[in-house]
A and B are shown apart, each in its own frame.
Chain A
Amino acid sequence: MPLNAYLTLAALVFAIGLFGVLTRRNAVGILLGIELMLNAVNINLVAFARFAGDLGGIIFTLFTIAITVAEVAVGLAIVIVIFRVRRTVEADHLDLLRG
């Protein structure tokens, strides 16, 4: 398969993830959409690395995977704390910082 096939697939997954981030009400659902978008980026990185014959993209993907897992752990901890305090995980209700 040519490089463009992989990039188009990644673009589709990225757009689907963005749709999830924009339309989900639940904070956990928004995090799931962000996961999809990060995955699409990883596909791009590995595809470019493979077709350019360069190891850098694959190493970068290793680091993004590890950082994403850390990000999810902290993000969900924040969601649980918010739930404890506010009794809701709906993103629309969390407008404490609105001026």
Chain B
Amino acid sequence: MTAETVAFAGVAVVLLGSSLAVVLTPNLFHAVLYLAVALVSTGAVFLLLDAPFLFGVQLLLYAGGVVTIVVFAIMLTERLVGQTIRSASRYVVNGAVISAAVFVGIVGFLVQAPPGGARPALAGDLTIALGRALVGPFALVLELLGVLLVIALVGALYFARSEA
């Protein structure tokens, strides 16, 4: 067992456990906290795949941004009712069967696929190459992303404005 195998196993256990907790906890607020754990451990998977910059982005945007927004939404919708949101599940058996079928389908493809080779050696610093690509061949896409974010912000403002 190499160090990488041990690290992968540990991260996988945390990721799968917290993911299961997200979908199974009856208390929605706890589910969001477990989602934060799942998002951070996904970032750890990015670290294992030699992408430290993505780990930072994942922490800042996902674990920082998304979790904060969801907590806000829960607080707002809970406060107005004045009772704790209970998110009871329904169709548990059907959902489990469909999810298991999707998983078996994906793994079926994985088993048939030819085994890939070992990962190639890193060609220089990935973050530097990433920055060069973002202002080079992907510059236009980056600008489009900025436009999309502005549209999303304006849309969210439009929804959230008071009727008066």
A residues contacting B by CB (< 8 A) are 1-9, 11-20, 22-26, 28-29, 31-33, 35-36, 39, 42-43, 46-47, 49-51, 53, 55, 58-59, 61-63, 65-74, 76-81, 83-84, 87, 89, 92
Contact A23/B152 with A1-B4, A35-B35 known, Cβ cut-off 8 Å:
no
Return the contact of B110 from the options A7, A70, A84 (Cβ within 8 A).
Answer: A7
A26 and B16: CB pair below 8 A? no
* Chain A proximity mask over B59-99: 1 for CB below 8 Å, otherwise 0: 00110011001101110110011000101111110111011
15 interchain pairs, CB-CB under 8 A? A9-B45, A11-B107, A12-B19, A13-B38, A25-B88, A29-B87, A36-B19, A39-B42, A39-B62, A49-B51, A66-B149, A70-B153, A73-B156, A74-B155, A80-B76
Interface size class of B (residues with CB under 8 A): 35 or more
Q: Chain B's interface: helix, strand, loop or mixed, by majority?
A: helix
Q: Which residues of B contact A13 (CB under 8 A)?
A: 15-16, 19, 38, 42
Q: Chain A's interface: helix, strand, loop or mixed, by majority?
A: helix
Q: Does B140 contact A (CB under 8 A)?
A: no
A72 and B70: CB pair below 8 A? yes
Q: Which residues of A contact B76 (CB under 8 A)?
A: 80, 83
Complex Cα spacing A2 to B152, Å: 38
A58 and B130: CB pair below 8 A? yes
A19 and B138: CB pair below 8 A? no
B131 to chain A, nearest CB (A): 11
